[in-house]
Structure 1
Amino acid sequence: MIDVDFNTLHLMGLTPAMAQHLVLQPEPEGGPFTLARLTEVHRDSVRVHDGRHERSARVLPRVSRELDDDDTAPAVGDWVLLQPDAHGDCWVHARLPPLSHIARRDADGSRHPVVSNVDTALIVMGLDDDFNLRRLERYLALVQGSGVQPVVVLTKADVAAPTAQLLAPRLQEIRDRMSDALDVIAVNGTHPSAAQALAPWLNDGQTVVLMGSSGAGKSTLTNTLAGAFVQDTGAVREHDSRGKHTTTSRSLHCLPGGACVIDTPGLRALRPDVDEATLAWLFDDIGRLALHCRFRDCRHQDEPGCAVREGIGHDRLRNYHKLLREARRDTMSVLERQQQAAAWKVRGKATRAWMKMKRGDE
């Protein structure tokens, strides 16, 4: 059983539910250990905070191997057990199972952790040229597949949509395409009113993570919530409103009101770690319409009498098919992926041969 000092660690985002969860975990041999939270993860070290002091630490090779065997790695927000060695260097002896965990996949299907033990994901999207509903759907799939509550935060309202007449169409686009239960907040990320608008998700002991593309205003919003300059910010390009990766690593910050916020860099590869069931829940409008398709096994592509194609916008349906293909590919074995690649190669060769014949080439 792990000893938890709730009053001290509450400042680091320890909730009663998490405290009860941690107390029930078996403590490794060789204690006593200090319970702390990961605030930053670097290549060879991590930063940890025990509610009183923040320090650098290293992860024991044994712990790294165990996490690698579980297809994961240390993530900002993790709760860990620390112990100094004879030289005073601090080591992570165990990573405790998280209550929530957001992970993404690379193009090859490998899984990478994003954050752990967060209550709410604030998906930040600018109202300028950063506004992209396909990318928003991907972030929603990434978050909801992990069991974390998403909230959409539209930034740069003061510049891109300063009046209700300009803001209303953007909000309507989201309502027409997403679930009515999704919370959507428009803010000026540089103004203190942003903290007031997000207060319902920043209660004492709660942890939120800011996610979104580079240049969306995540670091600016972090500074506003913290009431101090804790993250570097940068300008965006004029022609597409995209920003450089000013934030290069994830970091956890304590807010004056008792909540914690994790700032994250923009994800270069935004591939959600989801399955078909999660996608069906996220795109529940497609599932409802599918009941009215002419064919029971309708794929909603080119079949006649497809109620989904008639009732769902082309862009949303195309995004759904793309996410579904990725989810199915992630569940394939190596042999199945090789067979699929071989089939695509044969199909491509046949298409090129047909085009050559059509042009009359010799």
Structure 2
Amino acid sequence: MKPAMIEMDYPALQAIGLTPSLINAAFSLPEATLPSVHMARIIEIARNRFTVHNGARSFPLQAQTRLMIELDSSEHTLAVGDWVLVAPKDPDEDWIVAQVPPLNHIARRTSDGQRQALVSNIDTALLVMGLDHDFNPRRLERCLSMTHAAGVEAVVVLSKMDIGIEVEARIANLHSRLPKNINVISINGLSEATCTQLEPWLTPGHTLVMLGSSGAGKSTLTNTLLGNQTQQTGLVRQNDSRGRHTTTARSLYRIPGGACIIDTPGLRTWNIDADMEDISGCFSDIETLAAQCHFRDCQHLNEPGCAVRDAIDPDRLRNYHKLLREASRTQQSVLERKAELQRWKATMKAGHARLKEKRGE
């Protein structure tokens, strides 16, 4: 096997998030031995067209059809934040020939159960939620489950302090509801003071991603951190604070202090890509109390001697059970889901038959 020949300007690539672990992963790829191959990071995706940055400039590229077929067959996709190997296609054009295995990725499940990577190689996720009608602790806990499953640190960012509803009560409610180890920051996304509040996570080479619903204030916050109006922002409806998708693609930007930030469109569906263990880890407060329950298999519903039921916010406990059910379904294979559906249909059919028998029909 020929020695690896990857060309790179490490300081320039380090500034946009390259680490020694990613370099080692890149040099282990077969494509690393191709002539004139170099590393780049995907900073935007529009259908099958990718924009990458090589540390010096950004430019559009396409990926090899072979690579896209291989990724699709293994339930993987290229995502913003991915590192890739780029090689010459012809004298005037390059293309993406390999994906460097990501250190992590935040993903969701589509309606047909397929995994969809949203972003890759993330250090911190900023979970943005408005203190107006966007305030939804259940949705926030779903986001926390996604980031926990990916092994990504999450920081809860409560936006719109200046125009929120019952701001102090909502902030207090969230602090009492969430585990103490989760950072919760309240901001006015238009204020320059926000940069100071988020400074611990804005170190050079650090990669952050904004996650939240449409109208939560992600693009406003991105513009404040960048110091310009890079991202278009839009008004929200007054009655429910729902926003339009002013951000239509996931895009990676460099913040003046040196960090990288990925703004994302608001997601209408958040089907979690996590197993039951990941969910339990996100609800560590419930798991800790569960060790004190009288019954080892306590479900924290109506069992006597439950240490959880009276100590945890009832809505948080209901959301915990809901997410566990979703995670259980996610872990099932297609055949298992079909078998469960058949059992459910058989049970319903038997129930209808007994009801008809009672009626004498």
- Normalising by structure 1, we get a TM-score of 0.91
Alpha-carbon spacing, 1:356–1:304, altered in 2? closer, same or farther (3 Å): farther
State the alpha-carbon separation in 2 of the partners of residues 309 and 13 from structure 1.
Answer: 44
Q: Deviations over 1:87-108 (max 9, x none)?
A: 6232101110111211111233
Report how far residue 246 of structure 1 moved.
1.5
Q: Which amino acid aligns with 1:260?
A: C
State the alpha-carbon separation in 2 of the partners of residues 224 and 68 from structure 1.
Answer: 37
Over the matched positions of the two proteins, sequence identity in percent amounts to 49
Residue 320 in 1 paired to residue 320 in 2?
yes
Give the total of aligned pairs: 357
DSSP-derived class of the 2:32 partner: coil
State the alpha-carbon separation in 2 of the partners of residues 109 and 249 from structure 1.
Answer: 22
Q: For structure 1, list consecutive stretches of 5 or more residues without a partner in the other structure.
A: none
Query: What does residue 148 of structure 1 align with?
Result: 152
Q: Which moved more, 1:189-198 or 1:168-177?
A: 168-177
State the alpha-carbon separation in 1 of the partners of residues 79 and 57 from structure 2.
Answer: 19
Q: Which amino acid aligns with 1:218?
A: K
Q: Which amino acid aligns with 1:5?
A: D
Query: What does residue 226 of structure 2 align with?
Result: 226
Instruction: Specify which of 24, 38, 43 is matched with residue 42 of structure 2.
Output: 38
State the alpha-carbon separation in 1 of the partners of residues 227 and 357 from structure 2.
Answer: 68
Report how far residue 252 of structure 1 moved.
0.5
State the alpha-carbon separation in 1 of the partners of residues 109 and 58 from structure 2.
Answer: 30
How large is the Cα RMSD of the aligned pairs? 2.2
Residue 110 in 1 paired to residue 100 in 2?
no
Instruction: Specify which of 57, 64, 70 is matched with residue 68 of structure 2.
Output: 64
Q: Deviations over 1:314-348 (max 9, x none)?
A: 21111111111111111112221011112222344
Runs of 4+ in 1 over 6 A off after TM superposition: 353-358
Q: Which amino acid aligns with 2:35?
A: G
DSSP-derived class of the 1:136 partner: helix
Q: Deviations over 1:124-174 (max 9, x none)?
A: 00010111110010000001110110001111111116xxxx543222211
Alpha-carbon spacing, 1:349–1:318, altered in 2? closer, same or farther (3 Å): farther
State the alpha-carbon separation in 2 of the partners of residues 23 and 333 from structure 1.
Answer: 35
CA contact 1:104–1:272 (8 Å) conserved in 2: yes
Report how far residue 189 of structure 1 moved.
0.8
State the alpha-carbon separation in 2 of the partners of residues 69 and 229 from structure 1.
Answer: 39
State the alpha-carbon separation in 1 of the partners of residues 133 and 143 from structure 2.
Answer: 17
Query: What does residue 253 of structure 1 align with?
Result: 253
Q: Which amino acid aligns with 2:291?
A: L
Instruction: Specify which of 70, 87, 100 is matched with residue 96 of structure 1.
Output: 100
DSSP-derived class of the 1:104 partner: strand
Query: What does residue 87 of structure 2 align with?
Result: 83
State the alpha-carbon separation in 2 of the partners of residues 111 and 69 from structure 1.
Answer: 12
Query: What does residue 329 of structure 1 align with?
Result: 329
Residue 128 in 1 paired to residue 132 in 2?
yes
- Normalising by structure 2, we get a TM-score of 0.92
Q: Which amino acid aligns with 2:159?
A: T
